[in-house]
Chains A and B, each alone.
Chain A
């Protein structure tokens, strides 16, 4: 349950970031077949689009968790998967948060231009009318480079269990749903100054979540000084995520 909450809350808070990256595509998806779709139509399209997106997250989560399983099977002491990847995930979240806050001189994990083949193929996908088009566009969007997704994928590696990794990414995807739906359907959902404030608060929380993830990753190994005893990997990861969700919820 814990990773579900962690993923959901992370997605929810981080989606301020999603709006910037993927909001544009969501808007296009909503407006392609008919110039002014009815609210119901728009919502349906957005849901299908997000279903595609979440499918990709789940797929990536399964791969990451599978990699985690493999890594945790390495001979003892080679790599403390849970610890290392929790810390990586946390650091990524912190970087992302302070990047959204504008405190970094550079912008990490952000692609300025997606390169021609990607954008060209994406625009083709978006232009396909009907549900399949929306779904495939969502599927493609899920692969776009995104710091937040990478942070949670690192966390999925740390889970070192396919079911847990899949669940984490599924709930992460669900968490990103509200913001994407609002943007995709309505566009201007908040006045610019309010939006900026919301973004900043959300970014602050992302930093907080990241900090706690790092702390938990650190704790995981501190509490269990034998990282090679990997018979029950889930035991060690259980504490991660639970308290940091508290301030957010």
Chain B
């Protein structure tokens, strides 16, 4: 963890408080130490909620003092009768004052103590806490009241002093609860992990604390339990819910060999996984560390609040003194104390201090809960200003994998199935995305790959191999059909030309039209000539079109920046309804971003972070997708753990909502302080009302900030799902034309080749 965080609310400590010895509980504010005192003691028999008892007793005593005071007021307001009655009422008032003294003093001791300790701690770190100033005012009110009670002259302010102390303490407690809620997503992450793991040792299964699990251990994960460590499945099959760690909304199927991250929830069967990283270094912990780092950063608005805060406390103290002088002139010493106390209370910058960080923390946490990791507060602010969104193509709007679109054969000599069988046999061992598309297509159509041996890669051009002469019946049948040396090739036109393999006119026409349209193609050759041509198309990501539409609705210019041929790009542009710039070299992309920024304003670039890193870095905000597998590799400002491009409009809306909230909070906090201080200095605000106003102001900011998270769920994702379903119903059309062309699934479902990548 890079920065010190509060032991209670897990939020970053103010800079000056960060230099504390490790292992010591540290709190960012009085409220958090108070709330920790209240919650920590649960179950701890010795000091059971002593803090809560203190607070409760203080509330009771304050209530009593208030009752005595209502009697006192009643006396003052009541009708004055005979001299005898007046004397009686004076005695009664005296009794009430002594009762108030008796009940109020413990309140000062009960609640003043913790505030005093906190003030002293802050002072030793070189900070002046406003709570300390308020305590000073309360103390002065007590002294005034003691003197008045003992000399039987002048009014008493026990009630005011007690109410101020209670409300201040309650307010700080509520603030701490609010902060805890703002950071709850993260703590939920860590809390969700099981505290111990079941390790298989030989035939036994032993339970060990999670932190003691070592690399190579075999951990048994029963259904319904979360995976505590990163690992690889060794035994068992199941579906895992990875929403928290990868942002995947649908459960992912796992089998032996699949890597599983810490934090995934095992939904069905029992799994045995081999641990690949210690618990403290699991992907989840790295994630938590990254978000915590983001939270400790300070954005523009927070720095603004910080700058104001620096002046706030001295200015407040000065105003309190001015108010006191006016008060003293107006009505003497009592009024001076009350005015100063009211000024200190109303000017307490708690709302101002909470206004920005709470909203930012909530925004960052909310995004993290959906698998979006934002680097820092400034990025969140920048996201709200974005006016144009540029997309990289491959891996962003389209999958890395392609799909076989058509297979063209040379006359009717070889059926397209046979072409596919040969191509699949050769492609089976290759990881090239065209190879994967071919193998997947063969699988889908139930075409058995032809056995091929001696496979070699022809760098940048394709693959060569030869038929295996095995006792296998099918292979033998194919082998006898040509009777030649059995060399087969799969690759681009260049590979064919180099090997002097000829194209028939028919195939040549297909090749030319495909090249003209910018469609990628692969040729299949055996028996000494090119026998077929396969063309490919890209698979759009689910929700890509909806995301583009939603961004446009939000007033963002959307552009697709691609190095693709213009024809190919045009097809995509039509499918996505997006502006396209094609044939771009990497440096052209940077120029395009500059131009977009000049025309529309701040630009966000969305890419997969692999081949578009310069563009991501050049944009105002770089958004990398699919970084769930290795977050540490990513340096983009925003990382989407999953591949759901539909998250981007949601993210932009979240950022805008957060900034709106911050502005609202700041406006409120400033306005409240200016008006309140004006009233208080003029002696027009009683300290009790100032304390109530202070608490309400903090609560307003608190609720307003917590509301940031309450946005609608990502609608575009839902829309994309139904759109995907529609596409499915239109797919699987086998179109066989009369001239021997066979077009498989021209409108195939987008996901057929997605394999392990989309994990759908």
* Interface of B: prevailing SS: helix
Given A139-B60, A231-B79, does the pair A133, B74 have CB atoms closer than 8 Å? Answer: no
Stretch at the interface among A19-27, A57-65, A75-83, A96-104: A57-65
Question: What CA separation (Å) do A133 and B73 show in the bound complex?
Answer: 32
Q: A63 contacts which chain B residues (CB < 8 A)?
A: 66, 70
Stretch at the interface among A10-18, A84-92, A120-128: A120-128
- Is B71 part of the contact surface with A, judged by Cβ < 8 Å? yes
- Is A132 part of the contact surface with B, judged by Cβ < 8 Å? yes
Q: Are B66 and A59 closer than 8 Å at their CB atoms?
A: yes
Q: Are A65 and B49 closer than 8 Å at their CB atoms?
A: no
Q: Are A62 and B49 closer than 8 Å at their CB atoms?
A: no
Q: Are A132 and B57 closer than 8 Å at their CB atoms?
A: yes
Q: A56 contacts which chain B residues (CB < 8 A)?
A: 63
Q: Are B77 and A59 closer than 8 Å at their CB atoms?
A: no
- Is B257 part of the contact surface with A, judged by Cβ < 8 Å? no
Q: B53 contacts which chain A residues (CB < 8 A)?
A: 128, 132-133, 136
Q: Of A56, A66, A140, which is in contact with the most chain B CB atoms at under 10 Å from its CB?
A: A66
Given A127-B42, A129-B48, does the pair A58, B56 have CB atoms closer than 8 Å? Answer: no
The chain B residue with its CB closest to the CB of A56 is: B63
Q: Are A136 and B57 closer than 8 Å at their CB atoms?
A: yes
Given A66-B74, A69-B73, A125-B52, does the pair A166, B57 have CB atoms closer than 8 Å? Answer: no
Q: B71 contacts which chain A residues (CB < 8 A)?
A: 62, 162-163
- Is B501 part of the contact surface with A, judged by Cβ < 8 Å? no
Q: Are B70 and A66 closer than 8 Å at their CB atoms?
A: yes
Q: Are B66 and A128 closer than 8 Å at their CB atoms?
A: no
- Is A188 part of the contact surface with B, judged by Cβ < 8 Å? no
Which of B52, B63, B74, B174 touches A128 (beta carbons < 8 Å)? Answer: B52
Q: Are A136 and B48 closer than 8 Å at their CB atoms?
A: no
Which residues from 51 to 76 on chain B have a C-beta closer than 8 Å to any C-beta of chain A? 52-53, 56-57, 59-60, 63-64, 66-67, 70-71, 73-74
Question: What CA separation (Å) do A219 and B512 show in the bound complex?
Answer: 103
The chain A residue with its CB closest to the CB of B56 is: A136
Q: B66 contacts which chain A residues (CB < 8 A)?
A: 59, 62-63
Question: What CA separation (Å) do A69 and B52 show in the bound complex?
Answer: 34
What's the minimum C-beta distance from A64 to chain B, rounded to whole angstroms? 10
- Is B584 part of the contact surface with A, judged by Cβ < 8 Å? no
- Is A244 part of the contact surface with B, judged by Cβ < 8 Å? no
- Is A242 part of the contact surface with B, judged by Cβ < 8 Å? no
- Is B167 part of the contact surface with A, judged by Cβ < 8 Å? no
Question: What CA separation (Å) do A95 and B67 show in the bound complex?
Answer: 30
Q: Are A124 and B38 closer than 8 Å at their CB atoms?
A: yes
Q: Are B38 and A166 closer than 8 Å at their CB atoms?
A: no
What's the minimum C-beta distance from A153 to chain B, rounded to whole angstroms? 14
Q: A66 contacts which chain B residues (CB < 8 A)?
A: 70, 73-74
Q: B57 contacts which chain A residues (CB < 8 A)?
A: 132, 136
Q: Of A65, A136, A140, which is in contact with the most chain B CB atoms at under 10 Å from its CB?
A: A136
Q: Are B70 and A139 closer than 8 Å at their CB atoms?
A: no
The chain A residue with its CB closest to the CB of B71 is: A162
Chain A, interface residues (CB within 8 Å), range: 20 to 34
Question: What CA separation (Å) do A140 and B70 show in the bound complex?
Answer: 21
Question: What CA separation (Å) do A232 and B79 show in the bound complex?
Answer: 9
- Is A117 part of the contact surface with B, judged by Cβ < 8 Å? yes
How many A-B contacts at CB < 8 Å in the complex?
67
* Binary per-residue interface labels of chain A (67-79) against chain B in the complex, 1 for a CB within 8 Å, 0 otherwise: 0011001000000
Q: A127 contacts which chain B residues (CB < 8 A)?
A: 42, 49
* Interface of A: prevailing SS: helix
The chain B residue with its CB closest to the CB of A66 is: B70
- Is A161 part of the contact surface with B, judged by Cβ < 8 Å? yes
- Is A31 part of the contact surface with B, judged by Cβ < 8 Å? no
- Is B223 part of the contact surface with A, judged by Cβ < 8 Å? no
* Binary per-residue interface labels of chain A (110-148) against chain B in the complex, 1 for a CB within 8 Å, 0 otherwise: 000000010001001101110011011001100000000
- Is B177 part of the contact surface with A, judged by Cβ < 8 Å? yes
Q: Are A125 and B74 closer than 8 Å at their CB atoms?
A: no
What's the minimum C-beta distance from B34 to chain A, rounded to whole angstroms? 13
Q: B79 contacts which chain A residues (CB < 8 A)?
A: 231-232
What's the minimum C-beta distance from B468 to chain A, rounded to whole angstroms? 69
Q: B174 contacts which chain A residues (CB < 8 A)?
A: 117
Question: What CA separation (Å) do A69 and B75 show in the bound complex?
Answer: 11
Q: A59 contacts which chain B residues (CB < 8 A)?
A: 63-64, 66-67
Q: Are A69 and B42 closer than 8 Å at their CB atoms?
A: no
What's the minimum C-beta distance from A36 to chain B, rounded to whole angstroms? 20
Which of B39, B63, B67, B74 touches A69 (beta carbons < 8 Å)? Answer: B74
The chain A residue with its CB closest to the CB of B75 is: A162
Q: Are B74 and A162 closer than 8 Å at their CB atoms?
A: yes
Which residues from 86 to 143 on chain B have a C-beta closer than 8 Å to any C-beta of chain A? none
- Is A55 part of the contact surface with B, judged by Cβ < 8 Å? yes
Q: Are B77 and A58 closer than 8 Å at their CB atoms?
A: no
Question: What CA separation (Å) do A65 and B78 show in the bound complex?
Answer: 13
Question: What CA separation (Å) do A55 and B38 show in the bound complex?
Answer: 23
The chain B residue with its CB closest to the CB of A60 is: B63
Which of A73, A132, A133, A139 touches B59 (beta carbons < 8 Å)? Answer: A139
Q: Of B64, B66, B70, B73, which is in contact with the most chain A CB atoms at under 10 Å from its CB?
A: B70
What's the minimum C-beta distance from A129 to chain B, rounded to whole angstroms? 7
Q: A166 contacts which chain B residues (CB < 8 A)?
A: 67
Which of A55, A124, A140 touches B49 (beta carbons < 8 Å)? Answer: A124
Which residues from 27 to 52 on chain B have a C-beta closer than 8 Å to any C-beta of chain A? 38-39, 42, 48-49, 52
The chain B residue with its CB closest to the CB of A128 is: B49
Contact sample, A vs B, 22 pairs, CB 8 Å cutoff: A55-B63, A55-B64, A56-B63, A58-B67, A62-B70, A62-B71, A69-B73, A69-B74, A117-B177, A124-B38, A127-B49, A128-B53, A132-B53, A136-B52, A136-B60, A139-B56, A162-B73, A162-B74, A163-B71, A163-B74, A231-B79, A232-B79
Q: A124-B52, A139-B59 are in contact. List 10 more A-B contacts (CB 8 A).
A: A55-B64, A56-B63, A59-B64, A59-B67, A124-B42, A125-B56, A136-B53, A161-B74, A231-B79, A232-B79
Residues of B within 8 A of A (CB): 38-39, 42, 48-49, 52-53, 56-57, 59-60, 63-64, 66-67, 70-71, 73-74, 77, 79, 174, 177
Residues of A within 8 A of B (CB): 52, 55-56, 58-59, 62-63, 65-66, 69-70, 73, 117, 121, 124-125, 127-129, 132-133, 135-136, 139-140, 161-163, 166, 231-232
Pick the 8 closest A-B CB pairs, nearest first: A136-B56, A66-B70, A59-B63, A162-B74, A62-B67, A62-B70, A162-B70, A128-B49
